Amino acid sequence: MSTDWLGSVVSINCGPALGVYQGEVSSVEHGSQTISLRLPYHNGIKCPVPEVTFSAMDIKELKFLDIQSSATKHSSGQGAATEASSTPSGHHGHSNRVSHPAPSHSAAPISILRRAPIGPSNSRGPTQAALKKNGVRNGGAAGPLRPKDDDCFGGGTDEDLDKDFDFEGNLALFDKAAVFSKMGGTNNHSNRAQHQSTQGEHNPVSYRHDQNILKGKPIIYRQITVPQHGGKDYCTDAGLVVPSVPYELHKRLLAASERWGLSVERRLETIGVCSCQMALSLLGGPNRLTPKNVHQRPTVVVLCGPHIQGAQGISSGRHLANHEVEVILFLPNFLKMQESVTSELNLYSRTSGKQVASIKDLPTSPVDLVINCLDCHENRLLREQSWYQSAAEWANQNRAPVLSMDPSSSEQPQPIQAKWTLCVGLPLPVAEPESRVYLCDIGIPKQVFREVGISYHSPFGCKFVIPLHSA
């Protein structure tokens, strides 16, 4: 039986370490469990040796590409074979694939199993014309099979494949100094050494991502000038100077923006969105608010008063509640509230947020964040009322971080110690030195700033909320 497969073209897969070999079977030894291939190809490249011998232990899979007539007759007599095929092994669904299972270490002879074609009849596969062309018909070979197509394995490129590529010699032909000289702006190779010596003095050796920018003119860091200074300067992460303004100038700026169409309702909505985005980042952002973390929703308490600052806090609480945050709104039952507060309460009541009017109804355990909107720029006497003092005492004892929104400017410390302070438009002088100041863009046009005497250039860049640092 060992001579039945001689002359057949096979493909032997020896695993990822040894690769795939293809060639003509020259001998099969049952005793030593070996098979030899003549004129072999290794991974599509012709081997430098004329013959290669494989042990049964190294063979993972064996496929027949071309089968001699004697092998087919023998297989037909044993009842273990079907129609022979001359198609390449790449068409697995329609070629007569001959596979050899992973052999054991025993001395049993090599067993070869052939599998019939699988797949629909209308699939692409070897046609009858192809079978006639290769001389194979009805499972038998009509004549001697032609050798492997030379175009498949390169033909006249075998000599070049035997030579190793000289990487070092090819790399020596590359003149890196000349190329770098051209990149630096000089094409004269004679002054290459001089250029390299002066390169470190005039041009930096390497650039960071923010340094590799063509600068047309010097940067002006003080791009905002105000007619009345608030007494303190801030700077952004990019180094731009943002001056503080007194409350009178800030009030005139908001009034001018309202005359041009930036109404109180539009301003409340913008401040609510920006403060909500900042609060979500402080709460953990995507690491905290995920569908898999529904059992640990953050809790935020919003302390509000009956004024425009309280309406800003209600707007922020509404957006937070829309983002599945547990919001508790504190607003005492006042007899008189501004119209903006009433309209914001109507919208907030349609969310899942809660509203309480007494300090006793607030949580006794620490919450994730407290938003302070109790202060009013127009009425400083609110701090003397009992509800304000009770709310401030609760916030200081809760041990939760506090975000103060649009606080009133005062030389004295705020009743509630805030970790973050969010200013609107332009910053007001903040009395708390330990509070981190942020600035919110509410969409005031540049011409409106110019109307109140402010020369303005936006410091926000690509953001709507930016941090400010003491200059």
Would you say the C-alpha torsion 120, 122, 126, 130 has a positive or negative sign? positive
Mean pLDDT throughout 17-33? 87
CA angle in degrees (0–180, nearest 5) for 418-421-424: 150
Encoding tokens for residue 451? 């109307």
Mean pLDDT throughout 361-368? 94
pTM summary value: 0.56
pLDDT at 81: 34
Q: Sorting pLDDT into bands at 50, 70 and 90, what band is 220?
A: confident
For residues 207 and 26, which has the higher predicted lDDT (pLDDT)?
26
What 71-80 contacts at long range (C-beta under 8 Å, 24+ apart), as own/partner pairs, is 71/4, 71/5, 71/8, 72/139, 72/140, 72/141, 73/140, 74/1, 74/4, 75/114, 76/139, 80/113, 80/114
Q: Which CATH architecture has domain 9-153?
A: Roll (2.30)
Which residues, in sequence order, are CB contacts of 78 under 8 Å at separation 6+? none
Task: Kindly report, residue by residue over 2-23, the tens digit of the pLDDT.
Answer: 677 788 888 999 988 888 999 9
b/e per residue 222-236 (b: at least 16 CB within 10 A): eebebeeebebbbbb
pLDDT at 123: 40
pLDDT at 202: 53
Report how far residue 117's alpha carbon sits from residue 132's, in angstroms, rounded to the nearest whole number: 19
pLDDT at 129: 42
Count CA atoms closer than 13 A to 153's CA, side-chain side: 18
pLDDT higher than threshold 90 for residue 321 = yes
Mean pLDDT throughout 224-240? 92
Length of the chain: 471
pLDDT at 335: 66
pLDDT higher than threshold 70 for residue 227 = yes
Count CA atoms closer than 13 A to 230's CA, side-chain side: 23
Q: What average pLDDT is seen over the chain?
A: 78
Q: Sorting pLDDT into bands at 50, 70 and 90, what band is 469?
A: very high
Encoding tokens for residue 342? 């009433």
Task: Kindly report, residue by residue over 288-300, the tens digit of the pLDDT.
Answer: 888 887 778 899 9
Encoding tokens for residue 74? 């023998």
Q: Collapsing DSSP states into helix, strand and coil, what is residue 253?
A: helix
Encoding tokens for residue 178? 């000349």
Phi, psi of 462 (to 5 degrees): -95, 10
* CA 301 and chain centroid, separation: 33
The residue among 446, 310, 323 whose CA lies nearest residue 387 is 310
Range scoring the smallest mean pLDDT among 27-41, 69-83, 302-316, 363-377: 69-83
For residues 116 and 423, which has the higher predicted lDDT (pLDDT)?
423
Encoding tokens for residue 326? 């547990």
Max mean pLDDT among 83-97, 120-134, 295-309 falls in 295-309
Report how far residue 312's alpha carbon sits from residue 265's, in angstroms, rounded to the nearest whole number: 10
Task: Kindly report, residue by residue over 249-289, the tens digit of the pLDDT.
Answer: 999 999 999 999 999 999 999 999 999 999 999 998 888 88
Residue ranges of domains in the chain:
9-153, 164-213, 233-470
For residues 470 and 82, which has the higher predicted lDDT (pLDDT)?
470
Partners of residue 355 on adjacent β-strands: 329
pLDDT higher than threshold 80 for residue 164 = no
Encoding tokens for residue 317? 């609480």
pLDDT at 203: 54
pLDDT at 301: 97
Count CA atoms closer than 13 A to 285's CA, side-chain side: 4
Topology (CATH) of 233-470: Rossmann fold (3.40.50)
Report how far residue 307's alpha carbon sits from residue 359's, in angstroms, rounded to the nearest whole number: 19
Any idea what DSSP says for residue 451? Answer: H
Mean pLDDT throughout 185-208? 53
Percentage above 70 pLDDT, the chain:
71
Helix (H) or strand (E) holding 468: strand 465-470
Max mean pLDDT among 121-125, 181-185, 283-287 falls in 283-287
* CA 119 and chain centroid, separation: 41
pLDDT higher than threshold 90 for residue 91 = no
For β-strands 354-356 and 369-373, DSSP reports them as: unpaired
Task: Kindly report, residue by residue over 421-460, the tens digit of the pLDDT.
Answer: 999 999 998 777 788 999 999 999 999 999 999 999 999 9
